[in-house]
A and B are shown apart, each in its own frame.
Chain A
């Protein structure tokens, strides 16, 4: 019996050792530049390939939503495995900067960058810079509006019209950065009391507070709802995919996101990370967006703007105060007010 037992425990033990050995074997990720990517996968792939071609540095790109990326960077903080965080709304990039997860960097392309891209750089104390911008707006289902003979919404006020009862979708700001941008935008347009008044009325017309920021766009494209509040490039995406939708931006003014790039503090490949940072800001790197059918507005003035992208001259932007509405306290305060006054009522 002893022999059998030895054999058995031996085998399990050997298996355990083998597993740990497998675990301990060096990951090939270590030879590559590891980038967390916050935009759609096509674009992630396109810029990785373009950068590899230009610099010869192999890139390991992983797509993560903004919240997931931030959670991962926080968890890794003691021993970072990521080198660059590229793309995704500027807000979480600012948070990462505030928490010291990223490190300051300067670019040779500064002179060519749009002012909003540089303001991200200033506010993050150099730890982050804008690579593209996307405007907040509405997406609506053209076919269904025509069938019901409803004129498309043009202003925030239009969303309160009775024919949109139970027909508006927007994400839950507690879950989605998109919806938080919308909340902060409304507060900046109407004042805090006015904004919450508006949201209470809007609540009657909202059929669902979705969990993901771009979910209303796909719901509109399938006709599950008439109107959604989204970043316009998400809506344009559905349109390009052949759905009967169109996008517009509200007449009272609208907010926007600044998609950003940051270098992770403690990266072991600082030179390669800087090279990627420069590439992301160069006209060549920014052109990869349009090639991948992504329609955000590039931050480098010399980069070609895709014709499908919303024309920023036609949009009435508010002077979005990222400094104030990006801080943890203000965010928490507005979100818990939204939770207690809007979310807990009825829906």
Chain B
């Protein structure tokens, strides 16, 4: 194992002595002195350019060399790696934060150590490489001391995930939340925090006994619970219909349920208004036929609930289908052999097996609803929820970041509560059903009641979704949707025009720029999200380490905070050294990755807790390492989870708006930001045409992901002849 440590030690030196330590962003050009020799490496800069605080890094780097030089089983070897790596990492971080562009970052430090003649720029390539090297040295050291059963891979993975989460979740979120106790004069005041947290418009319960509005927390909780329940129910119904019945048009069903997830949220809202608004098609028809007077019932709780359910059911479905597919039929067969009726089998065997899926689907629905911003914004009416309140506390006329932070803390608390309840409900039971024991059962038919209920829920919803999307697609071809329905291709030509100029093809349409950026960002962030998420899921389910519960909760953090707050926090945290990312595409990608990672984690956790450990163990017994076990045993069984996280993160990268609205720069404009601008302008035609194009694009990508990743093949007898030829896993 020595040579891997040696590699990282060498890389640490390369980053320190050879590569440019600082980022080359323009803000640093004035700071970086004209370099003699290898420009701006930390070694040169520290010795020749007066940035003496970089020189001490030589000590931990030398410690690394010492560790590698020692004989393999020398007791000092891991200690040197561990201490050297940790000290190096710590020193790099501390000096990075303490010394900014113009010298000391805090006046207190200047008073303590005297003024600095010069500051420093943001971390660049060299710093990144050296820090990564320090990190892996530290984790190797830990593993060498016997942590994680001496497994470097696990130790390294935990270290990597922890560091990334610390950097891209804790740091920005901490920046924002710390302002919740801002007493006005820049100091922290517990009283201010208490006042903000207990404001009556947050907690009042007036709506129970008089015709006033309730506190925003109760509104949010009620909405989120309803959305969570409805999406879980619908997701379950769809999953049962798709997996456990002989329903023929399963492909169509799958497509229909996936449609809403690949739609920018306000498009659904718009379609819902055009159907159910006061002058909507359905409303007017009802008024004509049944004399029901048109009203604005859609604005407020009903409308938001409807659109959120439309938007989040597909996610519940994606989580549920993996779980339902994974239930081993042999248990159900055993129940039936013991003369249990279909209903008893379903209630006592199938349903309990689905509990992790149900709990995860509910948790995601609940939190998605809490964090959702677009739908309450357009359809909320006078029904206030936390996410919009937070947004307007930041950008509204009152602009009170402290209040936004306090509301953010409450929102986090709600998510924590939901998370805790989910854990309580699941308990410590085992849900493993995918084992190596060749489960060759045939899934029993669903009890009639359940089957009817599943169909009765899924089919009308599918039809409803279909109508809604039909209208959206149709709307893109009309002159002025809802008013002048004559057909035209004008909007598409406007957005996606191509002309042939003298130098070749000219992308003349107005949408091309943002479309290309969007595809690039989504394409890069999807695999990253899936990788980080599934790796975290593996650590959570398969490894045991101290602080695991807290670790699991922290991974959910960025998901629970509304996108707007995340967006502002990313600017606050990453606009100046030591980490300067604003205006780059990387900040968009990182924000999207760490925001969507929790879904990938949830899908991975749900799927992985079904896979019996005996599979890992037999693989390990046969001499495979952790990594080989993951690659050859776990990953193939995780295909539904991989598909779910790839699809989800790709789609969210395209459709999310609130988090990225602060992060898009003129060079990196995203499709949704552009579309929202068109909607504001009242140019619905182009907005809808563009959205339709995005829907088609995302549909194609989803199909491609399914094709490439493939289905999970679990050896089970089915009536399908092809499946019979497959070997049991």
**Chain A residues near B (Cβ < 8 Å):** 1-2, 4-6, 8-10, 12-13, 16-17, 19-30, 32, 34-35, 40-42, 60-65, 67-68, 70-72, 75-76, 78-79, 81, 95, 166, 172-177, 179-180, 207-209, 211-212, 214, 217-218, 221-225, 237-238, 241-243, 268, 331-332, 335, 339, 343-347
How far is B398's CA from A24's CA once the two chains are assembled, in angstroms?
Answer: 36
Residues of chain A contacted by B164 (CB below 8 angstroms): 16
Contact B212 A21 (CB under 8 A): no
Known contacts A25-B24, A26-B26; is-contact A2 B575 (Cβ 8 Å)? no
A23-B581, A78-B576, A346-B213 given; 8 more Cβ-contact pairs under 8 Å: A9-B153, A16-B128, A28-B667, A62-B664, A75-B571, A75-B572, A223-B278, A344-B212
Give bound CA distance, A32 to B568, whole Å.
23
Bound-state CA distance A16–B678 (Å) is: 37
Chain-A contact segment, one of B375-383, B413-421, B639-647:
B375-383
B24 proximity list for chain A (CB < 8 A): 24-26
Interface residue range, chain B: 35 or more
Contact B399 A81 (CB under 8 A): no
How close is B586's CB to chain A, nearest CB, in angstroms?
A: 3
- Interface pair B586/A22, CB less than 8 Å apart: yes
Residue of B nearest to A13 (CB): B132
> Is B483 touching A242 in the complex (CB atoms < 8 A)?
yes
Which of B274, B590, B680 touches A212 (beta carbons < 8 Å)?
A: B680
Contacting residues of chain B (182-196) with chain A, CB-CB under 8 angstroms: none
Complex interface: chain A residues within 8 A of B388 (CB): 211
Q: Is B226 part of the binding interface, using a Cβ–Cβ cutoff of 8 Å? A: no
State in angstroms the CA–CA spacing of A29 and B7 once bound together: 37
Chain B residue with the shortest CB-CB distance to A42:
B681
Contact A2 B23 (CB under 8 A): no
**Given that A24-B25, A175-B397, A241-B682 are known contacts, is A6 also in contact with B7, CB under 8 Å in the complex?**
yes
- A76 & B582 in contact (Cβ 8 Å cutoff): yes
Provided the pairs A17-B132, A68-B661, A211-B392 are in contact, do residues A24 and B122 lie with their beta carbons within 8 angstroms? yes
Smallest beta-carbon distance A5→chain B, Å: 5
Flag if A222 contacts B392 (CB, 8 Å). no
Q: Is there an interface contact between B581 and A335, defined as CB atoms closer than 8 Å? A: no
Residue among B1, B3, B399, B528 with the highest chain A CB neighbour number at 10 A: B399
Nearest-CB residue, chain B, relative to A63? B677
Provide the bound-state CA to CA distance between A181 and B475, in Å: 35
CB–CB A76/B575 < 8 A: yes
Q: Which residue of B lies closest to A243 (CB)?
A: B483
Which of B274, B627, B664 contacts A5, CB < 8 Å? B627
Q: Which chain A positions have C-beta within 8 A of B581?
A: 23
A78 to chain B: closest residue by CB: B576
Contacts of B133 in A (CB 8 A): 13
A67 touches B397 (CB 8 A): yes
A233 to chain B, nearest CB (A): 12
Q: Which residue of B lies closest to A7 (CB)?
A: B627
Closest Cβ of chain A to B179, distance in Å, is 11
Q: How far is the CB of B213 from chain A (nearest CB, A)?
A: 6
Query: Are A4's CB and B398's CB within 8 A?
Result: no
B398 to A344, Cβ gap below 8 A? no
| Chain B hits for A179, CB < 8 A | 397
Q: Assuming the A-B contacts A23-B586, A27-B25, A347-B382, are A224 and B273 also in contact, with contact meaning beta carbons closer than 8 angstroms in the complex? A: yes
Interface check B211, CB cutoff 8 A: yes
Shortest B77–chain A CB gap in Å is 15
| Interchain CB contact (< 8 A) of B128 among A4, A20, A166, A343 | A20
B547 at interface by CB-CB < 8 Å:
no
| Residue contact B666 to A5, C-beta cutoff 8 Å | no
Bound CA span A91–B398, Å: 12
CA distance A271 to B678 in the complex (A): 32
Q: Within the assembled complex, what's the spacing in Å between the Cα atoms of A76 and B27?
A: 13
A–B Cβ pairs within 8 angstroms, 19 of them = A4-B628, A8-B153, A21-B125, A28-B667, A30-B583, A40-B680, A63-B673, A64-B661, A67-B394, A71-B568, A79-B576, A81-B575, A174-B398, A177-B397, A222-B273, A224-B296, A237-B681, A339-B201, A344-B213
